[in-house]
Amino acid sequence: MKADLHVHSTASDGSLAPSALVAMALERGLDVLAIADHDSVEGLAEALAAARGTALKLIPAVELSASDGGHDVHVLAYFVDHTDARLLEHLADLRVSRLRRAGSMVAALCGAGYDVSIDAVLELSGGGAVGRSHVAAALVDAGHAESVSEAFRTLIGRGRPFYVSKDARPPRDVIATIVAAGGLPVIAHPGVTRADELLPGLVASGLRGIEAFHADHTPQQRSHYAAIARQRGLLVTGGSDYHGPGGPNPALGSVDVPSEAVEALLAAGRP
C-alpha cells in the first residue's frame, strides 16, 4: 500500500490545487493521500470530490499550529470532520492570528528598508492561510532575496531578525478540538520540532499517533519515533510534506510509509 499522509495545497502554502494533488497522487499510483493544510480545511471538499469514484482513498486532514511556551508545535488531524463548528472556529482564529503575524513581519521588514507590502503577501496567499512562505515569495518578488529559501535563511527563518512566532493555543487545547471533531491527533515531525519531552503530556491529552516517517527525519529518527509509538501503543504516520513543484520538500509519494502503519490508521479512522 502506497501512501502520502502529509501534503499541502493552495488552501495554505502549497502551490497546487487540491484536485491537482489528487490527480498527481493517482498518476503516481498512490492508494492513500492525506491533504493536511496549515490551519485550513478549505481544500478538502474539492479534494474529496476529485477522489470520489477513483482508486485513491483521500483522508480528510489538517495540520494545526500549536504553541508550547513560544515553541511551535504542529498537530496533524486525520479523519477530522471538516464541517465541525468548533474546529472551524479554532481554524478561523488561527488564520486571523496568521494575518496579524504577517502584518507584523511586513511592518518590521519595511522599517528595516525591505519594502514589501501586505497586499502583495495576501495576493500570493491566494486567499489561503497566510504564512511565512508567502512573505518569503513577496521578498523574492521585491528583489530582497534570490529565492524563498534564501529569504528564510537570511530574514524570516527561526532565529533570523524578522522571525515572528505564531500566536497559537497550547497543544492540549488543539488536541481537544481535534478529538471533539472526531479526528485522530498525531504529532507532526517531532524530530524537527524537538518535541520528545512533550510526548508524555501530549499522550495524556489524547494524542493518538506520531509522524515518524517525515521527509525531514533521518533514518535514525524514523526508527526512534516508530519505536516510541510501538512502546506507547500509538499510530505511526508519515509523508513528504510536499508543497508543490519547486517547494522545500521532496516529491509527492516519495517517503515510504509502512503498509501496516497505513492500514492501522485507516482502521482507527473508521467509525
Which of 10, 40, 133, 237 binds ligand AMP (CB under 6 A)? It is: 133
x-or-dash string of contact with ligand AMP, 219-248, rule CB under 6 A: ------------------------x----x
Q: Which long-range contacts (CB under 8 A, 24 or more apart) does 242-246 make?
A: 242/4, 242/6, 242/7, 242/8, 242/14, 242/21, 243/7, 243/8, 243/13, 243/14, 243/15, 243/133, 244/8, 244/14, 244/15, 244/16, 245/15, 245/16, 246/15
> CB of 92: closest distance to Fe ion in angstroms?
20
Footprint on residues 25-54 left by ligand AMP (CB under 6 A):
38
CB of 244 to ligand AMP, least distance (A): 10
Which of residues 149 and 254 has its CB atom nearest to ligand AMP in the complex?
A: 149
Among 83, 117, 149, 259, which residue interacts with ligand AMP (rule: CB under 6 A)?
Answer: 149
Instruction: Kindly report the number of other CB atoms within 10 A of residue 84's CB atom.
Output: 18
79 near ligand AMP, judged by CB under 6 A: no
Contact between 269 and 3 under an 8 Å Cβ cutoff? The reply is no
CB-based contact 208:235 (threshold 8 Å): yes
258, interface contact from ligand AMP, Fe ion, Zn ion, none, CB < 5-8 Å by kind: none
Q: Which residues bind Zn ion (CB under 5 A)?
A: 13
